[in-house]
Structure 1
Amino acid sequence: MKLILQNISKLFDNQPVLKDISVDFTQGETTVILGPSGSGKSTLLRCINLLELPEQGILELNHLSLDFTQTIHKKTKQEVRKNTAMVFQNFNLFSHLTAIENVMEGPITVLKKEKELARQQAQELLDMVGLADKYDSYPSRLSGGQQQRVAIARALAMEPAYLLFDEPTSALDPELEIEVLRVLRRLAHADLSMILVTHNIDFARLVADRILFLEDGGILFDGTTKNFFESDNPRIQRFIHSLKLEEEDV
């Protein structure tokens, strides 16, 4: 199932944030979106999930084709979100539900799965992200890294065509960040379809099949990870260097 964006433009306060973006995403690939702060990375991800609605452009996904110059109805948004599960920076778990209940909630209420089947699948997903001993823990009793892993399991439970990650480790300290990055690396190696916004350049090098580099609301680079890191484009070279600590910096 391809995800296709055509001529996507988005304004905030009459200022362009995304400028005529056209890009296709293919299932089975991990795409990492890089770029400086304010380049439009998170906005692009939120437009895919319809948390932000562009002023113009087209989104195509499976049998759906959305023209953003027209009204997008609630039912259409729900259909898109079934196929594009989002994992946010700050977890967004339901505080009154346990870890397993958080993972079960979507499959029961949205996918209409039987409760016991949803529980079994939630257990399997929590096991997969290393939380077999935390089924009955509430978010307040979990570390930030554990909460984010519950959020990843919750997204996986929706069986989406594409998993979207918006800076999934930015709220974590380095030790907890590694816990989450290990899970994401396993997902990438399992050929799931993922689109990640991150500032972690080393992680991008490790997991990405493809890199999009955004600059000033447009796509400056779209290609393989190897070609990105070997690019002779001065702007890309400066960006890579800015995120790496060299000996002369210490």
Structure 2
Amino acid sequence: MVTLKEINKSFNNHHVLKNINVQFKKGETTVILGPSGSGKSTLLRCINLLEIPQSGTLEIDSLKVDFSGKLTQKDKLAIRQNTAMVFQSFNLFPHMTVLENVIEGPITVLKKDKSNMVQIGEQLLDKVGLLHKKESYPSQLSGGQQQRVAIARALAMEPKFLLFDEPTSALDPELEGEVLKVLKALAEEQKSMILVTHNLNFARVAADRILFLENGEIAFDGDTEEFFNNTVNDRIVSFIQSMQFI
């Protein structure tokens, strides 16, 4: 489980996250929604310590970091070994083949056996529908294919939680669909996932839970069906209506 308590994050004089208290359970897909500038990506990046809050605590199972003190490199590495982030941009190594991209992290960081990782890497590429591209280079792939490789690479690290920061926002609708199918399949496998996305259709069919942020605060935390059928909260109703025309 990931637990955030009393998280505050500011950039200069802008208070981006305000006393955030939230838990993310294993085996659950949580989609974080909200208007631009609401703090969605910042919250996600705090879980992976790509952003360091000014105060509060982060716990992943038995690991705990307190942001009121100084974080060591050991603290950061321990947290990051439990999470894997997939970004908007694919961040693949251009000089490596698809398979080499997938297995590089486990071999270099986790000191896994290369021959074993080749087999696991091929299995993961098969899972995302790209085993036939294992000897290709990133420049030879479409954007959707590169993002699917990035997902396989994240899975290869065997993280407790997969984090996705708008993973399809740089793709056209057809290529977006390729990636969303993979993400939906992972959700059905009950992988522990936290996603920031603007795709309400994906959130509706794949999320177990919706977190809705506005002005750096959690305005809704609950069941997906409850969120989309909400007729009481005017802000949620207007948000859903506005997003359906994008």
Q: TM-score range by the shorter chain?
A: over 0.9
2:179 & 2:16 partners in 1: Cα distance?
29
2:130 & 2:211 partners in 1: Cα distance?
32
Residue 4 of structure 1 is matched in structure 2 by 3
- What TM-score do you get using the length of structure 2 for normalisation? 0.98
Residue 56 of structure 2 is matched in structure 1 by 57
2:171 & 2:133 partners in 1: Cα distance?
19
Residue 226 of structure 1 is matched in structure 2 by 225
After TM superposition, give the deviation of residue 245 of structure 1 in Å: 3.2
After TM superposition, give the deviation of residue 244 of structure 1 in Å: 1.0
After TM superposition, give the deviation of residue 14 of structure 1 in Å: 2.0
After TM superposition, give the deviation of residue 69 of structure 1 in Å: 1.0
Residue 80 of structure 1 is matched in structure 2 by 79
After TM superposition, give the deviation of residue 64 of structure 1 in Å: 1.0
Q: Show the 5 A alignment for 1:1-250.
A: 2-231=1-230, 232-245=232-245
After TM superposition, give the deviation of residue 195 of structure 1 in Å: 0.2
SS in 2 for 1:80: helix
Specify the code of the residue in structure 1 equivalent to 2:182. V
Identity %: 64
Q: Which 4+ runs in 1 deviate beyond 6 A?
A: none
SS in 1 for 2:36: coil
1:193 & 1:45 partners in 2: Cα distance?
14
Deviations 1:100-148 (A, max 9, x none): 0010011101111100011110000000000011001111111100000
2:28 & 2:180 partners in 1: Cα distance?
17
1:66 & 1:245 partners in 2: Cα distance?
41
Q: CA RMSD in A?
A: 0.9
Specify the code of the residue in structure 1 equivalent to 2:243. L
- The number of aligned residues is 245
Deviations 1:73-119 (A, max 9, x none): 11211111111100000011111111100100111011111000111
Specify the code of the residue in structure 2 equivalent to 1:244. Q
List runs of 5+ in structure 1 lacking aligned partners: none
1:179 & 1:134 partners in 2: Cα distance?
15
Specify the code of the residue in structure 2 equivalent to 1:69. S
Deviations 1:157-190 (A, max 9, x none): 0000000000000000111000000000000000
